[in-house]
Structure 1
Amino acid sequence: MSSTDKKNSVDVQDFIDSKPVAPFQWLVLMLCFLVTAIDGLDTAAVGFIAPALRDEWGLTPAQLNPVLGAALLGLMFGAFIAGPLADRFGRKTVLAFSVLFFGGWSLAAAYTDSVETLALMRFLTGLGLGGAMPNAITLTSEYCPQRRRSLMVTSMFCGFTLGSALGGVVAAQLVPMFGWRSILLMGGILPLALLPLLILLLPESARFLVQRKASGARIARILGRIALLPADWNGSFHIQDGPHDAKTGASPIRLILGSMLRRGTLMLWTSFFMSLLIIYMMTSWLPTLIKDTGLDLSQAALISAMFQIGGTLGAIGLGASMDRLDPYRVLMVAYAAGAVFLFGIGQYYDHYTILIVCVAGMGVCVSGSQVGANALAASFYPTASRATGVSWAHGVGRIGAVTGSLGGGLMLGLGMGFDDIFTLLMLPALLAAMAIFFMGLRYRRAAAEAPVGQNAPQLS
Structure 2
Amino acid sequence: MSHKGSSSSIYSQIRLLIDQGEISSFQWKIIAICFCIVLLDGFDIAIVAYIAPLLKKELSLGSQHLSYLFMSGVLGLMLGSMIFGSLADKFGRKSVLLISMLLYGVSTFLCGLVDNIDALIFLRFITGLGLGGAMPVSIALCAEYSPEKHRMLLCTLGWSGFTVGIAAGGFFSNFLLEQLNWSWLFYIGGVLPLLSILVVLKELPESLEYLVRIGEHRKLSTVLKKMNLQMNDIALSTENLVWGYIEKVPSVRCLFTRDNILLTLLLWVAFFFSLMVFYLLTYWIPLLFDERYSLKEVNILTAMIPLGGTVGAFILAVFIDRKKAAFLTLAISYLASFGLLLFVPSVSGDYYSLLICLFFIGFTIAGAQNGLNLVSPTIYQAYARATGVGWAMSSGRLGSIVGSYIGALLAQNSIETFFNYLSIGGIICSMALFGIFLYRKLVVI
TM-score range relative to shorter protein? 0.7 to 0.9
Quote the RMSD (CA, aligned, Å): 3.8
Instruction: Check if 1:308 corresponds to 2:319.
Output: no
Counterpart amino acid of 1:335? Y
Deviations 1:190-209 (A, max 9, x none): 11111121122111222344
Instruction: Check if 1:374 corresponds to 2:376.
Output: no
Query: What is the CA–CA distance in structure 2 between the aligned matches of 1:305 and 1:247, rounded to whole Å?
Result: 44
More displaced 10-residue stretch of structure 1: 94-103 or 324-333: 324-333
CA contact 2:170–2:299 (8 Å) conserved in 1: no
Equivalence for 2:433 = 436
Which structure dedicates a bigger proportion of its chain to helix? 2
CA contact 2:35–2:159 (8 Å) conserved in 1: yes
Query: What is the CA–CA distance in structure 1 between the aligned matches of 2:77 and 2:182, rounded to whole Å?
Result: 22
Instruction: Check if 1:318 corresponds to 2:322.
Output: no
Shift of 1:55: 4.8
Structure 2 vs 1, CA of residues 227 and 266 (structure 1 numbering), >3 Å: closer, same or farther?
farther
Structure 2 vs 1, CA of residues 428 and 305 (structure 1 numbering), >3 Å: closer, same or farther?
same
What SS is found at the alignment partner of 2:226? coil
Structure 2 vs 1, CA of residues 298 and 172 (structure 1 numbering), >3 Å: closer, same or farther?
closer
Equivalence for 1:91 = 93
Equivalence for 2:248 = 250
Query: What is the CA–CA distance in structure 1 between the aligned matches of 2:371 and 2:284, rounded to whole Å?
Result: 24
Structure 2 vs 1, CA of residues 296 and 54 (structure 1 numbering), >3 Å: closer, same or farther?
closer
Shift of 1:301: 5.8
Structure 2 vs 1, CA of residues 114 and 127 (structure 1 numbering), >3 Å: closer, same or farther?
same
Equivalence for 2:104 = 102
Query: What is the CA–CA distance in structure 1 between the aligned matches of 2:80 and 2:225, rounded to whole Å?
Result: 34
CA contact 2:67–2:404 (8 Å) conserved in 1: no
CA contact 1:79–1:391 (8 Å) conserved in 2: no
Percent identity, aligned pairs only, is 34
Counterpart amino acid of 1:403? V
Equivalence for 2:338 = 339
What SS is found at the alignment partner of 2:99? helix
Query: In the TM superposition, what are the counterparts of 1:51-130 in structure 2 within 5 Å?
Result: 51-130=53-132
Counterpart amino acid of 2:284? W
Equivalence for 1:427 = 424
Instruction: Check if 1:279 corresponds to 2:278.
Output: yes
TM-score (norm 2): 0.82
Shift of 1:399: 2.2
What SS is found at the alignment partner of 2:161? helix
Equivalence for 1:453 = none
Equivalence for 1:17 = 19
Deviations 1:11-42 (A, max 9, x none): 23321121111111111111111111111121
In structure 1, stretches of 5+ residues that fail to align are: 238-245, 450-460
Equivalence for 1:409 = 408
Deviations 1:182-232 (A, max 9, x none): 22222221111111211221112223444x353444333322222232755
What SS is found at the alignment partner of 2:113? coil
Equivalence for 2:33 = 31
Structure 2 vs 1, CA of residues 85 and 231 (structure 1 numbering), >3 Å: closer, same or farther?
closer
Equivalences, count? 435
Query: What is the CA–CA distance in structure 2 between the aligned matches of 1:313 and 1:429, rounded to whole Å?
Result: 19
Counterpart amino acid of 1:339? F
Structure 2 vs 1, CA of residues 254 and 291 (structure 1 numbering), >3 Å: closer, same or farther?
closer
Counterpart amino acid of 1:13? R
Counterpart amino acid of 2:236? G
CA contact 1:141–1:378 (8 Å) conserved in 2: no
Query: What is the CA–CA distance in structure 2 between the aligned matches of 1:263 and 1:94, rounded to whole Å?
Result: 35
What SS is found at the alignment partner of 1:227? coil
Query: What is the CA–CA distance in structure 1 between the aligned matches of 2:411 and 2:56, rounded to whole Å?
Result: 22
What SS is found at the alignment partner of 1:224? helix
Equivalence for 2:163 = 161
CA contact 2:290–2:298 (8 Å) conserved in 1: yes
Structure 2 vs 1, CA of residues 44 and 319 (structure 1 numbering), >3 Å: closer, same or farther?
same
Query: What is the CA–CA distance in structure 1 between the aligned matches of 2:438 and 2:207, rounded to whole Å?
Result: 30
Instruction: Check if 1:204 corresponds to 2:206.
Output: yes
Shift of 1:398: 2.6
Counterpart amino acid of 1:138? A
Query: What is the CA–CA distance in structure 2 between the aligned matches of 1:440 and 1:140, rounded to whole Å?
Result: 28
Equivalence for 2:362 = 363
Equivalence for 2:236 = 235
Deviations 1:240-278 (A, max 9, x none): xxxxxx994324664874748766554443222111111
Counterpart amino acid of 1:341? L
What SS is found at the alignment partner of 1:234? coil
In structure 2, stretches of 5+ residues that fail to align are: 239-243
